[in-house]
Amino acid sequence: MDRNPFLKKRTAVVGGALALAAITIPSAAAQTAETVGLEATDYVGISFWIATAMMLATTVFFLVERQNVAAKWKTSMSVAALVTGIAWYHYTYMRQHWVDNGSSPIVYRYIDWLLTVPLQIAEFYLILAAIGVASVVMFRNLMIASIVMLVAGFFGETGAWEIFGDASTEIWWAIGMAGWIYIIYEIFKGSINDAAQQASESVQFAFNSMRWIVLVGWAIYPLGYMMGNDMIPGFGEGDMNIIYNLADLVNKTAFGMMVWYAATMDTKAAASE
Ligand SMILES: *C/C=C(C)/C=C/C=C(C)/C=C/C1=C(C)CCCC1(C)C
């Protein structure tokens, strides 16, 4: 038997956090030097800056907090940290792209979404597995729907594949909407809802907050797309980027916070039993 497995684990986690800090601090310093060009009135640039810092902070927070929750929540906490960690990495580039060019970092943005959205679907699966209703078929369908949604958005925003001629922006948007609506239907429909009623209070909390994030938090994205792609008069690329940055904060940071809150609640409840 291990003489002190707890101490060992704690050392590993703290070591990981330190390694992350060691990678981060020099590159953050280098970026500060490059971005002296951020102007006081560049609100879009400022929103990129805030999002970058928040993504890094929450990543470290989730990794450190992971050691304080019950074993069954640890994977969920890791996934939450992966989502914000991948986003932090891309934000350092997106921020720079905006400050240097004043244009949308569309490609970085979509690469980030293509990695982080499936991870969030995996997070959903983990919670559904906890209430015993996760099925591989459903997981696969949600995955496919999310990829259809994102690939359609990419073609619509970049104009990389204008098969619908002049209406390409709108039709790709509509295809993206169909993917999202399918996801909403899957996670709100009856059988899952019934099963969720049987789950513990904390699992129900995690499940419900995730559903509302997908319904309300995700709705911000198609709105941003419309603003930045001439579908709503009077708005432009800058507005779209502020909206996307805000949406990422809600959907990645707050999403992880919900998981952390549920995990902490559940761990405390189990300890007092
Ligand atoms: C962390 C990043 C997340 C959660 C990104 C989510 C992105 C969406 C929900 C995007 C949705 C879109 C539509 C529903 C239609 C138009 C195209 C998109 C891709 C902007």
Of 7-16, 111-120, 190-199, the range with the highest mean pLDDT is: 111-120
Q: Is residue 137 part of a domain?
A: yes
| Full domain range(s) for residue 128 | 9-272
CA of 242 to the centre of ligand 1 (A): 14
Question: Which residue, among 251, 219, 1, 256, has the nearest Cα to 117 in the 3D structure?
Answer: 251
Q: pTM for this structure?
A: 0.87
Q: Please state, in angstroms and rounded to a whole number, the distance separating the CA atoms of residues 240 and 233.
A: 12
CB-based contact 123:87 (threshold 8 Å): no
Is 273's pLDDT higher than 50?
yes
Q: Is residue 191 part of a domain?
A: yes
With left for phi above 0 and alpha for psi between -120 and 50, is residue 153 left, alpha or beta?
alpha
Instruction: Please report, rounded to a whole number, the percentage of residues in the chain having pLDDT higher than 90.
Output: 71
Instruction: Please report, rounded to a whole number, the percentage of residues in the chain having pLDDT higher than 70.
Output: 86
Q: Is residue 1 part of a domain?
A: no
Question: DSSP states of 195-248 as a string?
Answer: HHHHS-HHHHHHHHHHHHIIIIITTHHHHHHHHHTTSSTT--HHHHHHHHHHHH
Q: pLDDT, tens digit, for every residue of 48-72? A: 999 999 999 999 999 999 999 999 9
Confidence of residue 22 (pLDDT cuts 50, 70, 90): low
Two structure tokens written together for 211: 């559903």
Mutate which of 218, 229, 248 for ligand 1 pocket (most atoms within 8 A of beta carbon) = 218
What's residue 19's pLDDT? 66
Q: How many helices (H) and strands (E) does the chain have?
A: 11, 0
Is 166's pLDDT higher than 70?
yes
What's residue 1's pLDDT? 42
- Which residues are CB-contacts of 59 (< 8 A; sequence separation ≥ 6)? 20, 81, 84, 85, 88
Does ligand 1 have an atom closer than 6 angstroms to the CB of 65? no
Q: pLDDT, tens digit, for every residue of 96-147? A: 999 999 999 999 999 999 999 999 999 989 988 877 777 888 889 999 999 9
- Which residues are CB-contacts of 86 (< 8 A; sequence separation ≥ 6)? 112, 115, 116, 119
Is 33's pLDDT higher than 60?
no
- In a 10 Å sphere around its CB, with 0-12 CB exposed, 13-18 middle and 19+ buried, how is residue 101 labelled? exposed
CB-based contact 240:227 (threshold 8 Å): yes
Q: Is residue 118 part of a domain?
A: yes
Does ligand 1 have an atom closer than 6 angstroms to the CB of 238? no
What's residue 198's pLDDT? 80
Q: How many domains does the chain have?
A: 1
Does ligand 1 have an atom closer than 6 angstroms to the CB of 118? no
118 vs 36 pLDDT, higher one: 118
Q: Is residue 2 part of a domain?
A: no
Give the chain's mean pLDDT: 89
Which amino acid appears at position 147 of this protein?
A: I
Q: At what angle do helices 255-271 and 106-130 cross, to 10 degrees?
A: 20
Q: Please state, in angstroms and rounded to a whole number, the distance separating the CA atoms of residues 45 and 107.
A: 17
Q: pLDDT, tens digit, for every residue of 226-259? A: 999 999 999 999 999 999 999 999 999 999 999 9
Q: Is residue 256 part of a domain?
A: yes
User: Which ligand 1 atom lies nearest to the CA of residue 218?
Assistant: 9
CA of 176 to the centre of ligand 1 (A): 8
Residue whose CA lies nearest to ligand 1 atom number 14: 177
Q: Is residue 3 part of a domain?
A: no
Q: Is residue 214 part of a domain?
A: yes
190 φ/ψ angles, rounded to the nearest 5 degrees: -40, -60
- Which residues are CB-contacts of 118 (< 8 A; sequence separation ≥ 6)? 143, 146, 147
CA of 91 to the centre of ligand 1 (A): 16
Q: What is the CATH number of the domain that holds 172?
A: 1.20.1070.10
CA of 51 to the centre of ligand 1 (A): 17
9 vs 219 pLDDT, higher one: 219
What's residue 35's pLDDT? 47
